[in-house]
Structure 1
Amino acid sequence: MTNPTFGETIVKTAAAWGAGASMALCVAVLIASEFMPVSLLTPIARDLGMSEGEAGQAISISGLFAVLTSLFIAGFTRKIDRKFVLSSFSLMLIVSGLVVSFAPNYTALMVGRALLGVAIGGFWSMSTAVVMRLLPESAVPEGLALLNAGNAIAATISAPLGSFLGDYIGWRGAFFFVVPLALIALIGQWTNMPSLPPRNRRATGNVFRLLARRQVALGMTAILLLFMGQFALFTYLRPFLESAAGFSVSGLSLVLLLMGLAGVAGTWCISRLLVTRLYSIVIAIPLVMAAIALTLMAVGSKLPVAALLIAWGFFGTAAPVGWGTWLSRVLHDDAEAGGGLQVAVIQFAIAIGAAAGGLLFDWAGWWSSFAFAAALLLGSSVAAWAASFEWEHSKSNGDPPRSRRGSRSAAPSPGPYCRAWYGLKRRLT
């Protein structure tokens, strides 16, 4: 009996794509729910009688539970049908939306956000493997692109949509808005997705074993610092824009929307350069973002602030694309474990960055969160440069990362600064 890696012959094409579309919708709702508090911190804090820094922990707690779930969910559910597992996470998303929408106090809000974190970590951890079973091999890239499209759209609209809805129907109405969308996604999954019993496979092992590779450890460090810095600042944009820059709610929504649109443009532009300039890009992006964070501390008028934040959206949204490309090249031989580790690192970084930013925000004001973000972003650039240097070192020893077909040309470019440094080192030694 054959056991194909890609595709389930019993699945009809239309049903498979219907399941894929419902998964993409669920991804979009998950991401929108995760980041919607960014634009609603002020009304949440006012309504529940807490500080804006405490309200910001609604993002950090979901990130923390997403980390824990992404690391351990495969082992906990190894005997359960994947259709049931994904549907359970979609149901958990609905419950989370209801709990947050009707939360009477801080504790209930945190419980709802923790449930969301479990749904995010679990759904993301299994989505790629499920798509590979739903679709034939030739259609898998399109299926994964569909999931990523849901992610990109949600990341673009979640903050401005939350601000817009919060202005008209309140922050509770904004969170309740995602519930019917999640219900549609759940119905689509249950209707179109076939039974996907777990396969008898050897355990994948501890994902942290990958950190024994020096280049992987450096790259993951760069990713950790990048997302910590990004969300130490991004989480508290609304209080900054309202109190320091003097934006109205409508002006705030417009700035957040323009940031999202700039992010879409940045993703498209920078993705075209990643083939030959991967390391140069992942080194430069956090440097630019750090410069933007520091410049925001020195300006206060609306137009310069808006321009700087649009630039932040352009580069910040594109950064994960660069590191996703890095992962596919450096860990092509262990991409599933590498993807799980990357999800855990990103969610952990979001949780820690938002939490630390909130503590600094309450202690010394918005400028301390921005300075902290700039320092983390500078550290990310240094770690990315070190990963580039490590790749160049492995290349000189005749062991560069290879593509699936063993081609050296697929390895990421280390960038001009790394090549110059390594060339000088060789001459001196």
Structure 2
Amino acid sequence: MTDLAQLGSQPELCVDDETRVAHWPAVFSLAFGVFGLVTAEFLPVSLLTPMAADLGVSNGAVGQAITATAVVAAFAGPLLVLGSGRIDRRSIVWTLMALLAVSSVLSAYASSITTLLFARALLGFALGGFWAMMTALALRLVPSKDVPRAMSIIIMGVSLATVVAAPLGAALGALWGWRATFLAASALGLVSLLVQLMVLPRLPSAGAPRLSAFRTALSRRAVLIGLVTILIVVSGHFAGFTFIRPFLEEVPRLGVSAISMTLLAFGVGGFLGNVVSGKIAARSPAWAVGSVALLIGAATLALVLLGASPTAAAVGTAVWGFAFGGFPVAVSIWNARAAPDLAEAAGALLSSSFQVAIASGAVVGGILVDGMGPTGVIVYSCAAVIVGAAVMLTLGRASERARGTGAPLSSS
């Protein structure tokens, strides 16, 4: 029996795997949906400076637009999983996509930081709910032998968003203004909803996990190691990445077009990192997670030491993107192996840990950027991700060897 096949023991997944039809258009529609959600989540990164000027607040204050999204998402995932009960999962996905569109429209017309934070909280609910259900949805849409491929496709939507969100946001913000850019994000949400209305099959559920499933997942050492690593690495990453535009403006003194190209390099690097890390993680998730975290540390250190050079800043940012692009897929594979029989509960915990890390990183980053400037926050990022890498390369590798999970996902 495969690790992923064991997930069929969940009540809602008790379907004859041999007769289950693979719904690949639906899988791609989920990738498109998460692409829209992540694009909207990180638009403030590339639009931070003009948003702060227009709303009359500091860069650190606007950075909390990401915090608001992440805080709500951290609670939304587990709550949605616990409360979803017998609701058809298709209807839940449709609702989440509608929230993406509504949130983006409200952000576009925000006249104060309070309104903006409320709009971003709505996005957080959609994002947290989608991330929490992502693995279980893949299990419902394809036979178990195709689940790794389906998860890779869905997570690829995240990688594509990292390619598009920052550079396109900066470019469209310069051409149209930040408000019109958020309206474009709402259109993306509506298109995602229309596609999913056409291709998502019915996904009835026999019931959501109980609290006991979360307790069981948290009792597993491998799950805890993964969650701790996520909290450290992702918080460190987003403390710096949230304020990458001010760094590029003040240290290498790049103009808007150069910043757009640098952020595009970050995104392209992230897309490539997703592919490379997925191949490494198929053999050893611990090595994949730990190595990309170390690479983030090396890239941020290069920015601190050599960032005054426009070329060095661009290269360092691209390497940073490559490294972080590989983190979500690597840690998702780690999580799947750590709790293959608790898909929704483990997925909700992973989603919450990501969002708590994003929120805490943005908060710490906002404090540091206002008090120490953009270079200070990059120093913090470097230190945090190296600590996270150490956790996975020591405790994670030991756990991996003990569980004998160095083989590909399709093997027992």
Please report the TM-score for the alignment, with normalisation by the length of structure 1.
0.85
Q: 1:73 aligns with which of 62, 77, 80?
A: 80
Deviations 1:210-256 (A, max 9, x none): 33333332232112111011101111000110112110000000011
Decide which of 10, 14, 17 is 1:5's aligned counterpart.
Answer: 14
Equivalent in 240, 244, 262 of residue 233 of structure 1: 240
Evaluate the alpha carbon distance shift between residue 206 and residue 307 of structure 1 in structure 2; reply closer, same or farther with a 3 A threshold: same
Q: CA deviation at 1:3?
A: 8.1
Change over 3 Å in CA distance of 1:212–1:250 after alignment to 2: same
In the alignment, which of 329, 337, 342 is matched to residue 337 of structure 2? 329
In 2, distance between residues paired with 1:226 and 1:381? 7
Shift of 1:208: 4.6
- Percentage identity across paired residues of the two chains: 33
| Aligned pairs (5 A) from 1:30-429 | 30-137=37-144, 140-200=147-207, 203=210, 205-299=212-306, 300-388=308-396, 390-391=398-399, 395=402, 400-401=404-405
1:17-75 C-alpha deviation (Å, 9 max, x unpaired): 44433332221110100111111100000000000011111111101111100111122
Q: Which moved more, 1:52-61 or 1:138-147?
A: 138-147
Count of equivalent residues: 401
Which segments of 5 or more consecutive residues in structure 1 lack a partner in the other structure?
A: 411-429
Gaps of 5+ in 2: 1-10
Distance 1:59 1:22 in 2: 25
Q: Which amino acid aligns with 1:259?
A: F
Does the aligned pair in 2 maintain the 1:214–1:390 contact within 8 Å?
no
Which amino acid is 1:67 matched to? A
Shift of 1:174: 0.8
Q: CA deviation at 1:277?
A: 4.9
Deviates more, 1:366-375 or 1:190-199: 190-199
3-state secondary structure, aligned to 2:342: helix
CA contact (8 A) 2:133 2:344 kept: no
Q: How far, CA to CA, are the matches of 2:109 and 2:17 in structure 1?
A: 41
Instruction: Return closer, same or farther for 1:266/1:142 CA change in 2, 3 Å cut-off.
Output: closer
**How far apart in 2 are the matches of 1:301 and 1:36?**
26
For the residue of structure 1 that corresponds to 2:212, the secondary structure is coil
Rounded to whole Å, the distance in 2 between the matches of 1:126 and 1:316 is 22
Q: Structure 2 vs 1, CA of residues 254 and 312 (structure 1 numbering), >3 Å: closer, same or farther?
A: same
CA distance in 1, matches of 2:374, 2:63: 13
Query: 302-311 vs 108-117, which deviates more?
Result: 302-311
Do the aligned residues in 2 keep the contact of 1:28 with 1:153 (CA within 8 Å)?
A: yes
Deviation at 1:337, TM superposition (A): 2.5
Structure 1 residues 285 and 241: alpha-carbon distance in aligned structure 2, compared to 1, 3 A threshold: same
Shift of 1:209: 3.9
Change (3 A) 1:170 1:271: same
Task: Give the equivalent residue in structure 2 for 1:427.
Answer: none
- The amino acid across from 2:107 in the alignment is V
Distance 1:49 1:24, change over 3 A: same
**Equivalents in 2 of 1:145, 1:348: separation in Å?**
23
SS of the aligned residue for 1:50 comes to: coil
TM-score by length of 2: 0.88
Q: Which one-letter code corresponds to 2:357 in the other structure?
A: A
The 3 A distance-change label for structure 1 pair 389 and 154 is closer
> Aligned-pair distance for 1:90?
1.1
Which whole-Å CA distance do the structure 1 matches of 2:224 and 2:235 have between them? Answer: 16
The structure whose RCO (Cα within 8 Å, separation 6+) is larger is 2
CA contact under 8 A between 1:274 and 1:281: conserved in structure 2? yes
Root-mean-square deviation (CA, aligned residues, Å) is 2.9
CA distance 1:8–1:215, shift in 2 (3 Å): closer
